[in-house]
Amino acid sequence: MKAFVYERYGPPDVLELRDVPKPVPKDNEVVIKIHATTVTSGDWRARTLNVPKGFGLMSRLFFGISKPRQPILGTELAGEVEAIGKDVRKFKIGDKIFAFAGAGMGCYAEYKCMPEDGPLALKPANLTYEEAAALSFGGTTALNFFRRGKLQSGEKVLVNGASGGVGTAAVQLARHFGADVTGVCSAANVDLVRSLGAAQVIDYTKEDFTKNGETYDVIVDTVGTAPFSRCKGSLKEEGRLLLVLGELSDLLQIPWVAMTGKKRIIGGPASERPEDLRFLAQLAEEGKLRPVIDRRYPLEQVVEAHRYVDTGRKRGNVVISLST
């Protein structure tokens, strides 16, 4: 099968299209013929080892010290079940599904095996493969942080980085849960973020949300520019900062902040649960969640897609389409 492989860290050009062995399913696995995948911030960090300050050594231990441990990037996919292991009961050949490979990656390929009990679910009937492929990374991340942050209906939520892959999902999910949502983004994305359900949108190039006197029950920082030291004054007395992206020093503050006041920092990696994908699929089918797609590229143009993501101007998701 064809797959994009990288054997060293670096710029987009380290990705090369090659022929690699087609995976064979274990007894509890399904073989998925991939129709669409994405380029996420996770793929970008794995390719470049560009990680928040303090995580350099840990990232090499995780991804591979001298070269990538997993040579095929891609964290999410949508496709069709082509074959199943002998013990598989939850899926059948021909099922249209979407899945989140997460840290296991391996989606920049024509086929991938995943365990039937893993984070995969039937594709919403009203979504294309490209749209379904873009559901899981941002959606599961936002869901996990809102769960850990105990988001309640009626609370005021600010999403910093509201136009990105996680941000666009967070705005919609917070609105679904009954929150009053404020999004922070650039001027070019104000209309997009408002269309997703944000009641207020702040253009960060014109206004600093930490200095406007507003306070929030929950602040979601998806881009690493709102550490506790900067935004603590914008949190209510029992406010929570959901640190989707932050430096190691920010995470080390978590115990001290908890001991010295009622405000909280929630950080660390998000977990992946099959039930979260099913929940996202249900919301999508009901028209309550729509993945935002910025650009689409064919598999052969993965390098170009990475170059675009490297610019930092991505709105929502960048999708890779495989011929069907």
pLDDT of residue 271: 87
pLDDT of residue 123: 98
Mind listing the domains of the chain with CATH numbers?
2-135+291-321 (3.90.180.10), 138-266 (3.40.50.720)
Q: What is the pLDDT of residues 175-194, one digit of tens each?
A: 999 999 999 999 999 999 99
What letter would DSSP give residue 263?
A: -
What is this structure's pTM? 0.95
Q: Are 244 and 145 in contact (CB under 8 A)?
A: yes
Q: Measured between alpha carbons, how far is residue 273 from residues 8, 33, 144, 220, 279 in Å?
A: 30, 22, 9, 21, 10
Q: In 85-241, which ranges are continuous DSSP H helix?
A: 129-133, 136-148, 165-176, 190-195, 228-231
Cross-strand pairs, 17: 4
Q: What is the pLDDT of residues 248-266, one digit of tens each?
A: 999 999 999 999 999 999 9
Instruction: Write out the two tokens for 27.
Output: 């007894």
pLDDT of residue 272: 84
Spatial distance between the Cα atoms of 88 and 94, rounded to a whole number of angstroms: 14
Segments of the chain with pLDDT less than 70: 324
pLDDT of residue 9: 97
pLDDT of residue 250: 92
